Amino acid sequence: MPADSDPPKLSTRFSTLACPRERQLLAWRDRVGHVIDVVPDKDQIARGFAGSIDLHAAGGLVFTQARTDALVLERSIARVSTDMRRDFAFHVYAEGETGHVSGLSVKRSAPGSVRGIIAFDLNQRFRIERPACRVLTMFVPRAIVAAHIGDCEALHGRVLPEHAPLARFVFEHFDVTARELPALERPDAIDVLDAGAQLLLAAFADKPHALSDSRAALQTAVKRQVKRYIEARLHEADLTPTTIVEALGLKRATVYRWFEQEGGLAAYIRHRRLREAADELARFPNLQIADIAFGLGFKSASDFTRAFRRAFDVSPLEMRLRALDLLRATTGDPITRMRAAHSKGVPESG
């Protein structure tokens, strides 16, 4: 999707809390007015309005996280006819519901206010009476949407409830994106945003599994979900491929296939535990090696030592001693610095 010539990652933050109460809703109107109109009333202005929005842009995609009180938003036909915004806005309601949407043609069977995802074509009019919520929004260029979905105009106003196929993966990915995006460098931010856009298009496509790009995005999102689950439970003895697929409600064969490059899901878990063990050997020099092994689910110290040597070509004890030598060398002690250099085969300078 993105081009290398795109500008650097952009991040901004805005909150109405810095404004006087009578100016809060009007300040929000000014902040989002380049995309959509806020329809205020006198009582709402007098009460004050709590709203905050974080915006991140990279690789031609824009992602926002907004928390707001109840409000009314409108993109009128006059606005559509006078500005040049033609992209799509996908609203993912992480907290709260979609509210009442009007000003567009929807099927009678379309869901009302639900926790879900709603797509808006900014080239068409709409009005939202929205309750208090936390909404994650991705703006996707029209050309990208049209390349994946033939009749993209028909997406306008379409709602996917949270239980719809692929919807839960979108919720998971966007929630993580909101937390991690502020700290990501531009290349990683582009990857995360691109995967989010592909997931959205897969979720809204009539035949999502027919899109190879969408399958790749789904695979990326699910693998990240599995890896996060593993990272959070490395020290649990009952962490196994079976418990993972059962806990996440995934298909065993599919997940196993997606981890083939890592040697399989069991091999990936073992590698992550060994890598965590290496970190703990360095961080906690007074902790017994056997305690580290048992704490990471290994059945015996000997099994741990054999696995560690196969993975890193050194024993746990040798790795710990090398780590201690390197740590001492950084303190400026010339003798320990020399020992560390010789242990790695590096000639001492000077």
Of the ranges 128-137, 210-219, 242-251, which one carries the lowest mean pLDDT score? 210-219
Task: With beta carbons less than 8 A apart as the criterion, state whether 183 and 177 touch.
Answer: no
* 1 compared with 207, residue with greater pLDDT: 207
Is residue 121 within 8 A of residue 99, CB to CB? The reply is no
**Average pLDDT over every residue of 48-66:** 94
* Strands annotated E in 96-246: 100-102, 116-121, 126-130, 133-140, 159-161
User: Across all residues in the chain, what is the average pLDDT?
Assistant: 83
What are 137's strand-pairing partners?
64, 91
Of the two residues 2 and 326, the one the predictor is more confident about is 326
| Concatenated DSSP letters of 39-95 | ---HHHHHH---EEEEEEEETTEEEEEEEE-SEEEEE-HHHHHHS----EEEEEEEE
CA distance readout (Å), 207 to 136, 202, 279: 24, 8, 45
- Higher pLDDT among residues 14 and 189, named by residue: 14
Please give the distance of CA 341 from its chain centroid, rounded to a whole number.
41
Q: Tell me which of 327 and 212 has the higher pLDDT.
A: 327
Q: Which structural domains are found in the chain, ordered by start?
A: 10-163 (2.60.120.10), 246-343 (1.10.10.60)
Q: Which amino acid is at 142?
A: R
What distance, in Å, lies between the first and last C-alpha atoms of the chain? 51
Would you place residue 53 in the very low, low, confident or very high pLDDT band (cuts 50, 70, 90)?
very high
Cα(29)–Cα(264) distance, rounded to whole angstroms? 51
Residue-by-residue DSSP string for 263-299: T-HHHHHHHHHHHHHHHHHHH-TTS-HHHHHHHTT-S
Q: Residue 225 above 90 pLDDT?
A: no
In whole angstroms, what is the distance from residue 91 CA to residue 89 CA?
Answer: 6
Residue 223 has pLDDT above 50, yes or no: yes
Name the nearest CA neighbour of 324 among 270, 282, 276: 282
The C-alpha atoms of residue 247 and residue 224 are separated, in whole angstroms, by 15
Per-residue pLDDT at 334 exceeds 60: no
Q: How confident is the model at residue 346 (pLDDT cuts 50, 70, 90)?
A: very low
Q: What is the pTM of this model?
A: 0.63
Model confidence pLDDT, tens digit, residues 137-179: 999 999 999 888 877 888 898 899 888 878 888 898 898 899 8
pLDDT digits over 250-283, tens only? 778 878 888 887 788 998 899 899 989 988 998 8
Q: Judge whether residue 209 has pLDDT over 50.
A: no
Q: What is the mean pLDDT of residues 185-213?
A: 77
pLDDT at 142: 93
* pLDDT one-digit tens code per residue, 60-108: 999 999 999 999 999 988 788 778 889 999 999 999 988 899 876 544 4
